[in-house]
Structure 1
Amino acid sequence: MSSQTIQIAIADDHPLITEGLQKLLEAAPGMEIAGCFGSGRECLEFLQSSHADILLLDIALPDTSGLDLCRDIRNISPATRILALSNHAERSMILQMLQQGASGYLLKNVAADELIRCIREAHEGLLTFSKAVREIMAKPSATELREMPQLTRREKEILLLIADGKTTTDIAAMLHLSPLTVETHRKNLLQKFGSPNVASMIRLAVQQGLIQA
């Protein structure tokens, strides 16, 4: 076995996908299948005692989420580069996987030559995406396009306290305001953010850097 051979593990609970990937990659020069696993537990057990250069990781395994598994693998096998393989095309999921340490993200409709390119790029230490994912990442989300709301000093104060879990009564006492005034500010904040509820408003405020997560 050449020292240049890329050892690849596959974690996916769909046998047809696993078998297809295995045949494709075994036929590619310089690639070898180290193991195939149908659950996160099996994958972790393998990586605790064996090595894989690249892990093709389905982010929707039956026993764990891809986000949790990615984090666990980064702890037990930091040298393994993880390529998320998914049907989920949401920009937020792609970003979350990258935040957990994935080296790339591919949609399951990826072409064979793209898959091989991405594996080689990840093996070289590059961040890599399939063509469809690059297009998703190139388009700003609705949140990023939305203009940041202009808040008064008082609204910023109240936003921070709401994010801190304070009730209307708490905020009224802390800022020496009437509960009715605080409720009016709360409604104005929801309107400015265009949010249906407080949880959505806080999420937008974090994304726009108005408050810290």
Structure 2
Amino acid sequence: MNKLRTIIVDDHPIVIEGLKTLLQHEDNLELAGGFNNGAETLEYLKANTVDLILLDITLPDVNGIDLCQEVKQESPETMILILSNHTQRSIIMRAIQNGANGYLLKNSSLDELRHCISEAVTGNICYSRDVMEIMSKPSKNELQGAPQLTRREKQILALLAQGKTSLVIGEELFLSPLTVDTHRRNLIQKFEVKNVAELIMVATQQQLL
């Protein structure tokens, strides 16, 4: 059996090492390396053949979903399985639209990962069990459209997208950091996301940024 030349792309070195340890005895995989960012991944792809990439979405220099598209342009035959903590249905759909062959949450079992790899090899798109459940249930936001934001929430969302802290935002808008934190929490709740990174990603997708 030809082994799948595999690389792991994740911003946490400990995740890369953990996956290497987990997968080192798999008969159908040849682990060729791990990368912490998109630039090194693309550089490696230009000089090496890669059959499979296990790819995180949160990277320091590029969104993993955008990187997915770049990888497919550089190497259309390379299979990409997203391994992420992002559970937003719209994010999963966009990853598949950008060429991903499957999407798994990081709490998936080794058996689920094995199954998705074998499905990808046969040309199928595969999801872990939890992702299948997410895909089968449209979120309230998707049914209702983008959430309605106040003028102040739009201002704070734009400043959060620029990477500014509550303290800096408070100084710019003449608000206390506590008030800014309250708006931040309200935004996270309205968009049904877990953190500011997801908030910015979803708001961008809904063309609010």
TM-score over 0.5 (shorter chain): yes
Q: TM-score, normalised by structure 2?
A: 0.66
Q: How do 1:132-171 residues align onto structure 2 when only pairs under 5 Å count?
A: 132-143=130-141, 145=143
Q: How do 1:1-150 residues align onto structure 2 when only pairs under 5 Å count?
A: 2=1, 4-143=2-141, 145=143
SS at structure 2 position matched to 1:61: coil
Amino acid across the alignment from 1:84: I
Amino acid across the alignment from 1:88: H
Tell me how far apart the structure 2 counterparts of residues 118 and 77 of structure 1 sit (CA, whole Å): 20
SS at structure 1 position matched to 2:86: coil
Equivalent pair of 1:9/1:36 in contact (CA under 8 Å): yes
Could you list the runs of 5+ residues in structure 1 that have no partner in the other structure? 148-199, 205-213
SS at structure 1 position matched to 2:87: coil
SS at structure 2 position matched to 1:97: helix
Tell me how far apart the structure 2 counterparts of residues 77 and 46 of structure 1 sit (CA, whole Å): 11
CA drift at 1:146: 5.1
Tell me how far apart the structure 1 counterparts of residues 144 and 70 of structure 2 sit (CA, whole Å): 35
CA drift at 1:141: 2.6
C-alpha root-mean-square deviation of aligned residues, in Å? 1.9
SS at structure 2 position matched to 1:64: coil
SS at structure 2 position matched to 1:29: coil
Number of residues paired by the alignment?
148
SS at structure 2 position matched to 1:79: coil
Q: TM-score, normalised by structure 1?
A: 0.65
Equivalent pair of 1:53/1:123 in contact (CA under 8 Å): no
Equivalent pair of 2:89/2:138 in contact (CA under 8 Å): no
SS at structure 2 position matched to 1:32: strand
Q: How do 1:178-193 residues align onto structure 2 when only pairs under 5 Å count?
A: none
Tell me how far apart the structure 1 counterparts of residues 143 and 91 of structure 2 sit (CA, whole Å): 18
Tell me how far apart the structure 2 counterparts of residues 60 and 134 of structure 1 sit (CA, whole Å): 21
Show structure 1 runs of 4+ deviating over 3 A: 143-147
SS at structure 2 position matched to 1:13: coil
CA drift at 1:67: 2.0
Equivalent pair of 2:10/2:56 in contact (CA under 8 Å): yes
Amino acid across the alignment from 1:36: G
CA drift at 1:23: 1.3
Question: Which structure's CA Rg is the greater one?
Answer: 1
